[in-house]
Amino acid sequence: MRLVASGLSEAGFATVAAVMGLENVLDRAQGWPARPYRERFRDPGLYHLRVFGDPAGGTWGWRFGGHHVSLNNLVVDGRVAATTPCFLGANPATTPLLGGGVHRPLGPTEDLARDIVRGLPPELLDAAVLAEAAPPDLVTANRATAAPGDRPLPGTAIRRESPPGPADPVAGTEEVALAATPRGVPASALDDRGRDLLRRLLSAYLDRAPAGTSPVQRYDDAALDEVHLAWAGSTDPGEPHYYRLQGPRLLLEWDNTQDGADHAHSV
Q: What is the mean pLDDT of the chain?
A: 94
Asked if 20 and 66 sit in the same domain, the reply is yes
Instruction: Work out the pLDDT band at 195, boundaries 50, 70, 90.
Output: very high
**Domain contains 92:** no
The mean pLDDT of 209-230, rounded to a whole number, is: 88
Cis amide leading into 85 (omega within 30):
yes
Asked if 39 and 120 sit in the same domain, the reply is no
pLDDT digits (tens, 9 = 90+) for 42-73: 999 999 999 999 999 889 999 999 999 999 99
**Domain contains 215:** yes
**Domain contains 91:** no
Residue (of 144, 138, 137, 134) closest to 166 by Cα position: 144
Asked if 198 and 253 sit in the same domain, the reply is yes
Size of the chain, expressed as the number of residues it contains: 267
Q: Does the structure show a pLDDT above 90 at 121? A: yes
Q: How many domains are contained in the chain?
A: 2
Amino acid 166: pLDDT: 74
Amino acid 36: pLDDT: 82
Q: Does the structure show a pLDDT above 90 at 18? A: yes
Q: Does the structure show a pLDDT above 90 at 157? A: no
Instruction: Work out the pLDDT band at 102, boundaries 50, 70, 90.
Output: very high
Amino acid 164: pLDDT: 67
Asked if 74 and 144 sit in the same domain, the reply is no
**Domain contains 89:** no
Q: Does the structure show a pLDDT above 90 at 211? A: no
Asked if 155 and 233 sit in the same domain, the reply is yes
pLDDT digits (tens, 9 = 90+) for 24-37: 999 999 999 987 87
Q: Can you tell me the distance from the alpha carbon of 192 to that of 44, in angstroms, rounded to the nearest whole number?
A: 41
Amino acid 214: pLDDT: 77
Instruction: Work out the pLDDT band at 167, boundaries 50, 70, 90.
Output: confident
Note down the domain range covering 243. Answer: 100-266
Instruction: Work out the pLDDT band at 144, boundaries 50, 70, 90.
Output: confident
**How many Cβ atoms are within 10 Å of 141's Cβ, its own excluded?**
21
Asked if 126 and 226 sit in the same domain, the reply is yes
The per-residue DSSP string of 98-130 comes to GGG-EE-TTHHHHHHHHHHHHTS-HHHHHHHEE
Asked if 106 and 210 sit in the same domain, the reply is yes
Asked if 69 and 125 sit in the same domain, the reply is no
Amino acid 73: pLDDT: 96
Instruction: Work out the pLDDT band at 215, boundaries 50, 70, 90.
Output: confident
Amino acid 155: pLDDT: 84
Asked if 224 and 154 sit in the same domain, the reply is yes
Asked if 136 and 229 sit in the same domain, the reply is yes
**Domain contains 95:** no
End residue of a domain, out of 56, 83, 110:
83
Q: Residue 71 belongs to what H/E stretch?
A: strand 69-76
On whether the CB atoms of residues 151 and 170 are closer than 8 A, the answer is yes
The mean pLDDT of 169-191, rounded to a whole number, is: 95
On whether the CB atoms of residues 235 and 243 are closer than 8 A, the answer is no
Asked if 250 and 129 sit in the same domain, the reply is yes
